[in-house]
Amino acid sequence: MANLVIHPLPLVKTKIVRGRITYMVSVPEPVVVYTYIWYIEGTKERILVDTGAPAEHFIRHGDPAEDLTSPADALKSVDLSPDEVDIVICTHLHFDHIGFGQMYRNARFIVQRLELEAAYNPHPIQVAAYPRKETLDSLNFQVVDGDTQIVDGIQVLLTPGHSEGGQSVAVDTGKGKVIISGLCTIKDNFEPPPRVKKIMPVITPGFHIDAREAFASLKRIKEEADIVIPLHEADFALRPTVP
């Protein structure tokens, strides 16, 4: 088993109502969430998960947001530059996860076929979530179908429901399998409050295209992972590495 390490690199901080991310649970409560890029250390290739997006993209969609740093400065903390990145694994292609994609001029962008098709031909309810066609056209996509080994110690898992072709990233570490959730989640999605946990082991993301499919994806992640990284959980902004 590979002994890899994940570096959370927070780019944007924003505040939303909790129900946006925890479907029908604690709906009006505010919650602070972060958007990250994740650097996986320990492979020959320089691999990131997601690219993040600037705060202005969130503000344009009606969410108060604050830039914490630029991708270039975030990567300096792990001795990288955008041009040195070989692979970007896209959990999905919503604007907040691919907005800085054009910075990575030498990278291959690994995406599920279903997700790329959805991004180019979005349903009307999802048009605002996906970037423009010209943004996608500028990226060098490597398309995969379903669960796929990327390199030794890193596998993508097809985990749809939040979007058509969302994928989570399983990383072999010294403390077991860490899975970066490909669905927009916080800790509560995987660790429901006691009153909810009696009914269901996970909470579907508030934003989804199929609530039951998203539920099944979260359940799979929880069952297969030794450590789960919810994609927008604020706690990881304070952690230099996982594990």
In this prediction, residue 28 carries a pLDDT of: 87
State the burial class of residue 218 (Cβ atoms within 10 Å of its Cβ: 0-12, 13-18, 19+). Answer: buried
Dist CA 101 CA 155 (whole Å) = 21
Architecture of domain 5-237: 4-Layer Sandwich (3.60)
Kindly list the domain boundaries of the chain, sorted by start residue.
5-237
| Low-confidence spans in the chain with pLDDT less than 50 | none
- Taking the whole predicted model, whether its pTM rises above 0.75 is answered as yes
Tokens 């939040």 -> residue: 162
74 within 8 A of 11, measured Cβ to Cβ: yes
Dist CA 94 CA 58 (whole Å) = 11
In this prediction, residue 229 carries a pLDDT of: 98
In this prediction, residue 1 carries a pLDDT of: 72
Buried b (16+ CB within 10 A) or exposed e, 201-210: ebbbbbbbbe
In this prediction, residue 186 carries a pLDDT of: 98
Dist CA 104 CA 101 (whole Å) = 6
